[in-house]
Amino acid sequence: MTSINKIKRSKLVSGPVRRIGIKTRSIAGTMPDGNRYESSLERDLMILLNFDPLVDVYTPQPLTLSYQMPDGSWHRYTPDGLIEYRKDIYVHDPRPVLVEVKYRKEFEGQFKNLLPKFRAAHLCAIQNGWIFEVYTEDKIRTPFLDNVKFLTPYLKQYDPDLMMWLSDQLSNLGTSDPKTLVASLYRDKWNQARLIPSLWALIASRQIGCDLSEPLTMNSKIWTL
The pLDDT of residue 24 is: 43
With beta carbons less than 8 A apart as the criterion, state whether 111 and 9 touch.
no
The pLDDT of residue 135 is: 97
83: left (phi over 0), alpha (psi -120 to 50) or beta: beta
* pLDDT above 80: residue 20: no
Mean pLDDT of 122-150: 97
The pLDDT of residue 7 is: 53
Q: For residue 137, which of 48, 77, 207, 211 has the smallest C-alpha distance?
A: 48
Q: Any residues with CB less than 8 A from the CB of 123 and at least 6 apart, and which?
A: none
* pLDDT above 70: residue 22: no
| Rounded Cα gap, residues 77 and 118, in angstroms | 9
Q: State CA 69 to chain mean position distance.
A: 33
Mean pLDDT of 25-41: 77
Read off the pTM: 0.85
Q: For residue 206, which of 193, 219, 224, 221 has the smallest C-alpha distance?
A: 224
The pLDDT of residue 1 is: 39
| Rounded Cα gap, residues 171 and 157, in angstroms | 22
| Rounded Cα gap, residues 147 and 142, in angstroms | 9
The pLDDT of residue 90 is: 87
Average the pLDDT over each of 1-5, 101-105, 212-216 and give the range with the smallest value. Answer: 1-5
Mean pLDDT of 10-18: 80
| Rounded Cα gap, residues 36 and 21, in angstroms | 9
Q: 137 or 70, which is more confident?
A: 137
The pLDDT of residue 165 is: 97
∠ Cα 44 148 197 (to 5°)? 145
Q: Which domains does the chain have, with CATH numbers?
A: 29-141 (3.40.1350.10), 144-224 (no CATH)
Give the pLDDT confidence of 181-192 residue by residue, as tens digits.
Answer: 999 999 999 999
Average the pLDDT over each of 12-26, 52-66, 126-140 and give the range with the smallest value. Answer: 12-26
